[in-house]
Amino acid sequence: MSVEFLWRIPVHGDGRRAHQLHTRGEWNQLNPAINSPQRVAPQHEDQLFAYYDYVQQVAKAADIVGFHGALIPAFPHTEEPWVLASALARETKRLRLLIAIQPWFIHPAYASQMAASLQRLSQGRVEWNVISGGGGAQQRAYGDFIEHDQRYARTNEFLEFVKGYSHHAPFDYDGKFFHVEQGGLRYPMNQYDVPRLWLAGASDAALQVAGRHADIHLTWGEPVEQQKKVIEQARVFFEQNSPDRKVKFGMRIDILARPTQEQAFQELKQMYETIAVDGHAFERKDTESVGAKRQQALAQGNRFEDLFVSPNVWAGMSNVRGGPNCILVGSYEQVAERLQEYIDIGVGHFILASNPHLEEAYRVAEEVLPLVGYKLK
């Protein structure tokens, strides 16, 4: 089985500590009076540089060392992924740009045109992480009020529309959410493929859409035995409901690898100890996402030691920087062994991350992935 490793672009700050003490980016308030670290990355008042200049360094590092691509996430309070991808397309050579997109954000006709234009700009390096939305307050803050299964029905229509509009002009579509008459892209805008599609979700509604459209079914990392069950359940669902399609499996997980396990544990503990009293600000208790609820269930306890849920798997990262809970932590050899275990159960596509993303892109490529038997580039 071929394996791909992608990196993550930090779209709302970066640093060596928990999010509220990040020194790169302006998403927090550092307080010099309490010996906070000093901000070093550009701020919005800077006349010469912007946070984008740091993001550009991260993307170039991932490109230089040979990561297959980079995820550009989307959150209400971060840099916008389409804008970053357009800029990074001209600064990178091989790096594929995995753009997080919600069908609620944009009409599929315009999304098709934007993707086609960016494919031309990047010579075909665009991919989509299509997110139907986790519901709750965050979804409503985007202006989206429809219920869970209907969001996935909308995603299904969105992707049907994009595939038809991109390559089958003149194109008609009359759905519940989207409509068009005699539309579609024409030469030269229809010369590239639709972006490769990464879809997540563990509910029946989510798996139904993934089976119809996904090239890669993406999940947040869990202990390997639980991850194996998740993959097996999804594979059975796809075989029963979409037998003519081959969906591959991907996983998003952080890693912290050092020469020894003791060093890695100590560094992670120091990061954990920098979480503020309100460190649960990232937690979304009203989420409707099945996968997010599984992540929350892993994080039981407040002591550092209580959050180890299996060998070299620690489940407290969502309080450090938001997002998925699990991180692989240990020596270079241990982290490589854990990655190989995930490969053995069928994970062929990894989105990795580690703080700070610039330095760690080099470390992971130099010290960890060669031990998995994977040669970048």
Residue ranges per structural domain of the chain = 4-253+347-358
Task: Please check whether residue 27 is in contact with residue 77, taking contact to mean a CB–CB distance below 8 angstroms.
Answer: yes
Question: What is the average pLDDT across 52-66?
Answer: 96
Question: What is the average pLDDT across 63-90?
Answer: 95
Where do runs of H (alpha helix) occur along 145-289?
A: 148-167, 204-213, 224-241, 261-272
pLDDT higher for 227 or 375? 227
pLDDT at residue 367 greater than cutoff 90: yes
Which architecture, in CATH terms, is 4-253+347-358? Answer: Alpha-Beta Barrel (3.20)
Question: What is the average pLDDT across 38-44?
Answer: 71
Residue given tokens 């989420």 in the structure block: 287
pLDDT higher for 258 or 141? 258
Q: What's the pLDDT at 264?
A: 98
Cα dist from 225 to 63, 66, 361, whole Å: 32, 30, 27
- The torsion angles phi and psi of 257, rounded to 5 degrees, stand at -120, 135
Structure confidence at residue 31 as a pLDDT band (50, 70, 90): low
Q: Find the angle CA(168)-CA(166)-CA(75) to the nearest 5 degrees.
A: 150
Share of the chain above pLDDT 90, in %: 71
Q: What's the pLDDT at 15?
A: 86
Strand pairing category for 308-310 and 313-314: antiparallel
Q: What's the pLDDT at 47?
A: 81
Tens digits of residue pLDDT in 104-146: 989 999 999 999 999 999 999 999 999 998 778 878 888 888 9
Residue 255 bridge partners (DSSP) = 328
Number of other CB atoms surrounding residue 225 within 10 Å: 10
Cα dist from 71 to 12, 96, 140, 154, 352, whole Å: 13, 9, 24, 23, 9
Q: Is 252 helix (H, G, I), strand (E, B) or coil?
A: strand
**Identity of residue 264:** A
Tens digits of residue pLDDT in 195-205: 999 999 999 99
Q: Is 374 helix (H, G, I), strand (E, B) or coil?
A: coil
Distance of CA 183 to the CA centre of its chain: 32
Q: What's the pLDDT at 299?
A: 65
pLDDT higher for 62 or 24? 62
Q: What's the pLDDT at 323?
A: 75
Q: What's the pLDDT at 328?
A: 98
Q: What's the pLDDT at 279?
A: 47
Structure confidence at residue 369 as a pLDDT band (50, 70, 90): very high
123 Cβ contact partners less than 8 Å away, ≥ 6 residues apart:
none
Q: Is 49 helix (H, G, I), strand (E, B) or coil?
A: coil
Q: What's the pLDDT at 68?
A: 98
Tokens of 330: 């240990």
Tens digits of residue pLDDT in 299-342: 677 789 999 999 999 999 887 777 788 999 999 999 999 999 99
**Of 62-66, 244-248, 270-274, 319-323, which gets the smallest average pLDDT?**
319-323
Among candidates 100, 116, 309, which has minimal Cα distance to 218?
100
Q: Give DSSP secondary structure letters for 62-94.
A: HHHHT-SEEEE---TTS--HHHHHHHHHTT-SS
Question: What is the average pLDDT across 169-189?
Answer: 98
Please give the DSSP secondary-structure letter assigned to residue 101: E
pLDDT, averaged across the chain: 90
Structure confidence at residue 181 as a pLDDT band (50, 70, 90): very high
Question: What is the average pLDDT across 167-184?
Answer: 98
